[in-house]
């Protein structure tokens, strides 16, 4: 269900040898996301978009439940002590998956992924610029506007086919 988060930040890295070993693994994981999207489109056409979405969340819930059960007691506070708004992430995920099943049969997987990435990048630039959702208003520098412009151009190219 997840896609890559685009809020790129430079983070400290460790030994170069380990990095080289891990990179192919991360690339493979990214390829898996496209395979997931590729499975969803045709499935949605056959059984309905919501059923296809349920298959993702149902199977995912079951696997994670088993993983959690066998990984023993967890650190940190109990879920029912957390602020309620932190729990709404679960409602946003299905929106994304439904859109994936709707879009991939029409524009293809690669282009769907580009459009998703555009939304991620665009959102972060606009939130910073206008200070939406209570974020501190930051000046968005020229490079990030240029990035947004390039992305819009990419979308126009996709729309024209």
Find the binding residues for another protein in span 123-152 (CB under 8 A): 123-124, 141, 143-144, 146-148, 150-151
Residues 6+ apart with CB under 8 A from 25: none
CB of 137 to another protein, least distance (A): 14
60 binds another protein (CB under 8 A): yes
Q: Which of 84, 86, 130, 134 binds another protein (CB under 8 A)?
A: 86
Residues 6+ apart with CB under 8 A from 116: 3, 96
75 binds another protein (CB under 8 A): yes
CB of 84 to another protein, least distance (A): 12
CB of 131 to another protein, least distance (A): 15
Residues 6+ apart with CB under 8 A from 147: 121, 125
CB of 42 to another protein, least distance (A): 4
Length of the chain: 161
Per CB under 8 A, contacts with another protein among 23-52 are 23, 25-43, 46-48, 50-51
For residue 98 the two structure tokens come to 């439904």
What are the residue ranges of helices labelled H in the chain?
16-47, 49-70, 89-107, 109-130, 142-160
């Amino acid at each position: 269900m997840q896609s890559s988060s685009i809020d790129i930040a430079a983070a400290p890295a460790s030994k170069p040898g380990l990095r080289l070993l891990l990179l192919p693994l991360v690339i493979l994981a990214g390829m898996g996301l496209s395979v997931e999207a590729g499975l969803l489109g045709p499935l949605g056409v056959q059984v309905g978009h919501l059923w296809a979405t349920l298959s993702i969340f149902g199977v995912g819930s079951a696997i994670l439940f088993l993983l959690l059960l066998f990984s023993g007691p967890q650190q940190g506070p109990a879920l029912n002590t957390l602020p309620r708004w932190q729990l709404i992430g679960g409602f946003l995920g299905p929106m994304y998956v439904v859109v994936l099943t709707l879009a991939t049969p029409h524009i293809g997987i690669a282009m769907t992924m580009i459009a998703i990435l555009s939304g991620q990048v665009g959102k972060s630039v606009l939130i910073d610029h206008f200070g939406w959702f209570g974020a501190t208003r930051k000046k968005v520098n020229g490079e990030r506007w240029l990035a947004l412009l390039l992305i819009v151009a990419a979308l126009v190219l996709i729309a024209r086919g």
